[in-house]
């Protein structure tokens, strides 16, 4: 068994890189029971933690790249082990040695894209605001109410640009004075941090923080739970505090203030998927449901795995950039759950979830749509 640094040395490296809680593990195996991977194939976080405890981690094994950081096992561990921190600590060692085995090899391209163009997709920085052409979207100025930060996928991905367009339409309809940063916006850095590339995360975060401060930003509106998570919980590590709101929260605010009214009907049965980084990581469960319940004609049904027990889409922790074999996609299980409750639409609030559900290999016979809540709201205002 090859190790980058044998026995005690690697234990110290893991501790130094933030994975210290692995030492409390008593090998009960609960993390493996709750992990979504074990619904599609064998995977043992317990074993990864065990190997770390004895300094026997092999960074060339693909297993350390499998965790989607969904947040389920840390919330259940009886010993308070933070498996995500322990796993990311191991990836930091891999990233430092430039070792990205198997499916993780694509991370190298993402690193290159983020470094050269500031986005994970590989679009030109100068085209970051192209989605906003013809959408009555202005550049952000200090006198505006809020900065809209669409993030990488909504700026470049053809499917997800529709979510950015829907968001702008809603904000304009509600009379919100908002603006964007355009090519001055960089990737929030959340997911690359989970691949262990701390240096690149810090570079991206510092670029955004400088831009926010220079532009006089106080309040930031985001569409991605990943941007939400890092702005709210990780950017304060740089001694800055911007108020961050996810679009689901902002929609509730606009509705409650009487600035947004539903004038149409949405006569469909819908089920809502809680994205890991909105739900389990940040406790936002009620707002999306409150919005959907207020839409005339809409019938909301819950899937078997909902709220704290939501099934991960498979896209967190950098997995969105890795190819998952068809038979191992969590998205197939999730779509089947949606169909089981009679849903015609699977609604969610995260670009990674929409990407993974759209890529599902499940062959559905009935017409079935995957939508961001913003797109549904746009149809009824």
The alpha carbon of residue 354 and the mean position of all alpha carbons in its chain are separated, in whole angstroms, by 11
Residue with smaller CB distance to ligand SF4, 6 or 29: 29
Using CB under 6 A as the binding rule, whether residue 73 contacts ligand SF4 is answered as yes
Using CB under 6 A as the binding rule, whether residue 147 contacts ligand SF4 is answered as no
**Minimum gap (Å) between residue 79 Cβ and ligand SF4:** 4
CB 193 within 8 A of CB 201: yes
**Minimum gap (Å) between residue 37 Cβ and ligand SF4:** 6
Using CB under 6 A as the binding rule, whether residue 69 contacts ligand SF4 is answered as yes
Which window, 24-32, 287-295, 348-356, 365-373, contacts ligand SF4 (CB under 6 A)? 24-32
Quote the crossing angle between the two packed helices 107-117 and 198-215, to the nearest 10°.
30
Residue with smaller CB distance to ligand SF4, 91 or 184: 91
From candidates 17, 46, 162, 226, binder to ligand SF4 by CB under 6 A: 46
Residue with smaller CB distance to ligand SF4, 71 or 351: 71
Closest CA relative to residue 167, chosen from 381, 378, 346 = 378
Torsion of CA 26, 95, 212, 136, to 10 degrees: -100
Using CB under 6 A as the binding rule, whether residue 320 contacts ligand SF4 is answered as no
d(CA 21, CA 79): 9
From candidates 34, 215, 240, 341, binder to ligand SF4 by CB under 6 A: 34
- The helix/strand/coil state of 146 is strand
CB 307 within 8 A of CB 259: no
Sequence-separated (6 or more) residues with CB below 8 Å from residue 345: 268, 269, 270, 271, 368, 369, 370, 371, 376
From candidates 35, 90, 278, 292, binder to ligand SF4 by CB under 6 A: 35
Which window, 21-29, 161-169, 281-289, 368-376, contacts ligand SF4 (CB under 6 A)? 21-29
- Residues that bind ligand SF4 (rule: CB under 6 A) add up to a total of 27
Using CB under 6 A as the binding rule, whether residue 25 contacts ligand SF4 is answered as yes
**Minimum gap (Å) between residue 56 Cβ and ligand SF4:** 16
Using CB under 6 A as the binding rule, whether residue 298 contacts ligand SF4 is answered as no
**Minimum gap (Å) between residue 93 Cβ and ligand SF4:** 18
Using CB under 6 A as the binding rule, whether residue 353 contacts ligand SF4 is answered as no
**Minimum gap (Å) between residue 251 Cβ and ligand SF4:** 28
From candidates 4, 10, 13, 49, binder to ligand SF4 by CB under 6 A: 49
Closest CA relative to residue 194, chosen from 107, 100, 82, 317 = 317
d(CA 294, CA 128): 34
CB 161 within 8 A of CB 375: no
Cα→Cα distances 365→7, 336, 353, Å? 54, 12, 21
From candidates 81, 152, 244, 247, binder to ligand SF4 by CB under 6 A: 81
Residue 363 CB: number of other CB atoms within 10 A?
A: 6
Sequence-separated (6 or more) residues with CB below 8 Å from residue 203: 189
Residue with smaller CB distance to ligand SF4, 66 or 371: 66
**Minimum gap (Å) between residue 68 Cβ and ligand SF4:** 4
Using CB under 6 A as the binding rule, whether residue 270 contacts ligand SF4 is answered as no
Using CB under 6 A as the binding rule, whether residue 29 contacts ligand SF4 is answered as yes
CB 368 within 8 A of CB 335: yes
Residues that bind ligand SF4 (CB under 6 A): 25-31, 34-37, 45-46, 49, 67-73, 77-79, 81, 83-84
């Amino acid at each position: 068994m090859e190790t980058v640094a044998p026995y005690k040395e690697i234990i110290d490296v893991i501790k130094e890189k933030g994975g210290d809680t692995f030492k409390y593990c008593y090998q009960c195996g609960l993390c493996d029971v709750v992990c979504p991977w074990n619904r599609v194939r064998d995977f043992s976080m317990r074993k990864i933690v065990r190997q770390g405890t004895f300094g026997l981690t092999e960074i060339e094994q693909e297993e350390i790249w499998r965790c989607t950081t969904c947040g389920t096992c840390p919330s259940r561990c009886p010993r308070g082990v933070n498996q995500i921190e322990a796993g990311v600590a191991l990836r930091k060692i891999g990233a430092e040695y430039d070792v990205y085995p198997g499916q993780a090899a694509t991370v190298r391209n993402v690193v290159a894209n983020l470094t050269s163009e500031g986005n994970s997709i590989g679009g030109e920085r100068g085209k970051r605001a192209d989605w906003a052409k013809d959408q009555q979207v202005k550049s952000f100025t200090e006198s505006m109410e809020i900065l809209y930060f669409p993030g990488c996928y909504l700026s470049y991905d053809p499917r997800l640009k529709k979510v950015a367009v829907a968001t702008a339409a809603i904000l304009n309809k509600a009379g919100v004075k908002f603006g964007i940063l355009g090519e001055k916006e960089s990737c929030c850095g959340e997911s690359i941090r989970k691949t262990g590339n701390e240096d690149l995360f810090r570079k991206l975060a510092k670029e955004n923080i400088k831009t926010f401060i220079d532009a006089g930003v106080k309040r930031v509106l985001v569409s991605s739970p990943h941007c939400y998570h890092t702005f709210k919980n990780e950017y304060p590590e740089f001694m800055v505090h911007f108020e961050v709101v996810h679009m689901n929260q902002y929609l509730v605010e606009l509705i409650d203030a009487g600035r947004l009214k539903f004038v149409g009907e949405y006569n469909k049965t819908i089920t809502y998927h809680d994205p890991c980084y909105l739900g389990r990581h940040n406790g936002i469960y009620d707002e999306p449901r409150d919005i959907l319940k207020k839409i005339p004609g809409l019938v909301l049904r819950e899937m078997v795995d909902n709220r704290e027990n939501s099934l991960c889409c498979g896209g967190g922790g950098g997995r969105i950039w890795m190819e998952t074999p068809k038979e191992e996609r969590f998205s197939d299980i999730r779509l089947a759950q949606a169909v089981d409750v009679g849903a015609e639409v699977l609604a969610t609030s995260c670009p990674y979830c929409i990407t993974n559900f759209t890529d599902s290999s499940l062959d559905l016979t009935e017409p079935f749509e995957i939508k961001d809540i913003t797109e549904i709201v746009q149809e009824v205002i």
